[in-house]
Amino acid sequence: MAQPTQNSANKMTRAGSQLLARKSIDRLIAEADEPEHRLKKTLGPWSLTALGIGAIIGSGIFVLTGTAAAGEHFEAPSILHAQVLDLLVNLIRNGNSAGVLMHGRPPAGPSIALSFILVAIACAFAGLCYAELASMIPIAGSAYTYSYATLGEIFAWIIGWDLILEYAVSNVAVAVGFSGYAKAQLAAFGLVISDKWASPVWSGGQWTGAYFNLPAFLIVFILTLLLVRGVRESAGANNVMVIIKIGAILTFLVVGGMLINPANWKPFAPSGFAGVVTGGAIVFFTYIGFDSVSTAAEECHSPQKDLPFGIIASLIVCTILYVGVAVVLLGMMKYTTFASGKAAEAPVAYALQYLGARPVFRSIIVLGALMGMISSLLVFQYGQARIWYAMSRDGLLPKLFSAVHPKFKTPHWSTWIACLAVGLPAGFVDIGDAADLSNIGTLFAFVLVALGVIFLRRTQPDRPRSFKVPFVPWFPLMAVILCGGLMLGLIVITWLRFFGWLAIGLVIYFAYSRKHSEFARKAISN
């Protein structure tokens, strides 16, 4: 009678050890060099930097700056729209939620420039952590792979599932935004696309009467063709788009700078520090992407040197541009202007038009915004396919996801599946405020990567590191604290959606992935 009990205990022990089983870094590197999984190495430091800029600077710089400065307001008061930080502060001070703002988020005003700097500092600490791990573990998969090597299989699965959410949700939002923006600009030239074929089928909680959002699907499909063709071709196209959109931003800084009225900068921080934090939680969406540089680890010539350079350089360039746009835009017009209407939908274009800038300058901004959306879509579709590729190679997803094209040496099935996972939802739905899921997912990934640096410094202190985070554990802990603080700046419903997504992921893990992972196969063979 004791034998079954002993067998059950052994199974529980093996299951528990599998959850925290970590992959050897040397084994990870060896697997990446296996011929059937090897990817073509074509990227250098400047291509990686452009990849980061391409992902970071999307349409957000032309849209979210105004939204975050003016704040957000919901008509119906609801605890679901309350900021988590505000809720916690009121519970601690008053023991209840009576003083919680449940109509949205307070305006940051011109202090949105500080929000960009605050987020940049948080991202800089996280970026240093990414740079160290990327130089040690030059493998596709980004935070997923780092977590597998440092924290264990269950954490790797959670972060991999989380990254799928980050990339997919953000790209659905960008694809829908691209469709609306492109439709409006084509209409200005007399080319009218029917709303039936250029609008989401479901938006704002109701049916729109549209059949399909064809432009949103087509842009994802076209980029997928490019990505399957090869990373060199994709990087080349991204480089061109990055040059165009940086040129558009510089044009705005020069033209808008001549239209500044210093009186618009007062009051500088209408909601105090709470507005700065809330603004940071909103504009964090514009910084998502520098981590995608690390997904290109297996396709660059010298990952130990080039990956840290690409991550840090892209962050520095984008921060300078973001702060410049915020200062100029909020100097051109009062922050309250961007609360609603056309000013909220396209604040940069609206400000230029309202203040009488020449049409040619507005056209340059439109072109820059379109290039920003396309390059962001390109890089995130690239990164998403590499995450799935890495998870499949470890057995956590079906082997189809890690198949490499015999000619192009790209994970073609993962890339096409990513196309459907983003293109089809973009054709049917407008996810609206659910885009905040990208923010919380990314911040959570940053926290785990920072913890991974601390863990590896303790467990493998002598392992060669071509790049080191200074002042460990303090810098990684700063990343944890700042990213955690920005997570608290998000609203309650975003947290509930995030936990719901993680719950679905855990069901899939225990139903499929745990049984097919490399460690499960080893346990069976033993």
186: confidence class by pLDDT, cuts 50, 70, 90: confident
pLDDT digits (tens, 9 = 90+) for 44-98: 888 888 888 888 887 667 767 887 788 776 655 677 777 787 788 778 888 777 7
Q: What is the pLDDT of residue 74?
A: 60
Lowest average pLDDT, out of 11-15, 22-26, 280-284, 371-375, goes to 11-15
Lowest average pLDDT, out of 185-194, 225-234, 324-333, goes to 185-194
Give the CATH number for residue 318: 1.20.1740.10
Q: Is the pLDDT of residue 17 over 80?
A: no
Q: What DSSP string describes 440-505? A: HHHHHHHHHHHHHHHHHHHH-TTS--SS--SSTTHHHHHHHHHHHHHHHTSBHHHHHHHHHHHHHH
Per DSSP, helices labelled H in 355-473 are: 359-393, 412-428, 436-459
Share of the chain above pLDDT 70, in %: 90
Whether 124 and 479 have beta carbons less than 8 Å apart is answered as no
Q: What is the pLDDT of residue 174?
A: 84
Segment holding 114, helix H or strand E: helix 112-136
Residue 24 maps to a domain: no
Q: Hey, CA dihedral for 286, 288, 290, 293, is it positive or negative?
A: negative
Residue 16 maps to a domain: no
Lowest average pLDDT, out of 179-183, 224-228, 247-251, 384-388, goes to 179-183
233 to 224, 238, 408: CA distances (angstroms): 12, 9, 11
What is the pLDDT averaged over residues 280-293? 76
Residue 13 maps to a domain: no
418: confidence class by pLDDT, cuts 50, 70, 90: very high
316 to 57, 131, 329, 344, 477: CA distances (angstroms): 12, 14, 20, 27, 21
> Which residues have CB under 8 Å from 82's CB, separation 6+?
97, 100, 101, 102, 491, 492
257 to 68, 111, 271, 348, 355: CA distances (angstroms): 20, 17, 25, 12, 12
Q: Which is more confident, 14 or 482? A: 482
Q: What is the pLDDT of residue 329?
A: 92
- What is the extent of the structural domain holding 349? 59-525
Query: What are 196's two structure tokens?
Result: 């039936």
First to last CA, the chain: 24
Query: What are 99's two structure tokens?
Result: 């003083």
Q: What is the pLDDT of residue 9?
A: 42
Residue 121 maps to a domain: yes
Q: Report the distance separating Cα 227 and Cα 414, nearest Å.
A: 11
> Which residues have CB under 8 Å from 186's CB, separation 6+?
192, 193
Q: Is the pLDDT of residue 364 over 90?
A: no
Residue 27 maps to a domain: no
Q: Is the pLDDT of residue 521 over 90?
A: no
Q: What is the pLDDT of residue 2?
A: 45
Q: How many CB atoms lie within 10 A of CB 162?
A: 26
Q: Is the pLDDT of residue 331 over 90?
A: yes
Query: What are 158's two structure tokens?
Result: 């959670």
Task: Please state whether beta strands 206-207 and 72-73 pair in parallel, antiparallel, or not at all (unpaired).
Answer: unpaired
Residue 29 maps to a domain: no
pLDDT digits (tens, 9 = 90+) for 118-133: 888 888 899 889 888 8
pLDDT digits (tens, 9 = 90+) for 141-157: 788 888 888 888 999 99
474 to 126, 311, 425: CA distances (angstroms): 12, 20, 41
Residue 412 maps to a domain: yes
The residue assigned the tokens 């992972």 is 517
Q: Rounded to a whole number, what is the largest CA-CA distance in the chain?
A: 88
DSSP classification of residue 141? T
DSSP classification of residue 358? -
Q: What is the pLDDT of residue 62?
A: 72
Q: What is the pLDDT of residue 260?
A: 93
Q: What is the pLDDT of residue 334?
A: 93
| Of the candidates 329, 435, 382, 449, the residue with the CA atom closest to the CA atom of residue 50 | 382
Q: What is the pLDDT of residue 265?
A: 94
Q: Which is more confident, 240 or 291? A: 240
Q: Report the distance separating Cα 253 and Cα 262, nearest Å.
A: 15
| Omega prior to 200 cis, within 30 of 0 | no
Q: Is the pLDDT of residue 368 over 90?
A: no
Lowest average pLDDT, out of 129-143, 204-218, 286-300, goes to 286-300
Q: Is the pLDDT of residue 431 over 80?
A: no
Whether 166 and 438 have beta carbons less than 8 Å apart is answered as yes
503: confidence class by pLDDT, cuts 50, 70, 90: very high
Per DSSP, helices labelled H in 139-271 are: 143-150, 153-188, 214-229, 231-257
Q: Is the pLDDT of residue 243 over 80?
A: yes
Q: Which is more confident, 332 or 304? A: 332
Whether 450 and 479 have beta carbons less than 8 Å apart is answered as yes
Q: What is the pLDDT of residue 506?
A: 95
12: confidence class by pLDDT, cuts 50, 70, 90: very low
Question: Mean pLDDT across the chain, nearest whole number?
Answer: 83
Q: Hey, CA dihedral for 371, 313, 288, 89, is it positive or negative?
A: negative
Q: How many domains does the chain have?
A: 1
What is the pLDDT averaged over residues 259-272? 91
Q: Which is more confident, 64 or 493? A: 493
Q: Report the distance separating Cα 212 and Cα 303, nearest Å.
A: 42
Q: Report the distance separating Cα 353 and Cα 355, nearest Å.
A: 6
Q: What is the pLDDT of residue 153?
A: 92
Angle at which helix 153-188 crosses helix 2-19, to 10 degrees, equals 40
Q: What is the pLDDT of residue 15?
A: 56
Q: Report the distance separating Cα 379 and Cα 55, nearest Å.
A: 5
Residue 323 maps to a domain: yes
> Which residues have CB under 8 Å from 363's CB, separation 6+?
none
Q: Which is more confident, 495 or 287? A: 495
Q: How many CB atoms lie within 10 A of CB 54?
A: 31
What is the pLDDT averaged over residues 481-497? 86
3-state secondary structure of 202: strand
Whether 505 and 158 have beta carbons less than 8 Å apart is answered as yes
Q: Report the distance separating Cα 267 and Cα 248, nearest Å.
A: 29
Q: Is the pLDDT of residue 477 over 90?
A: yes
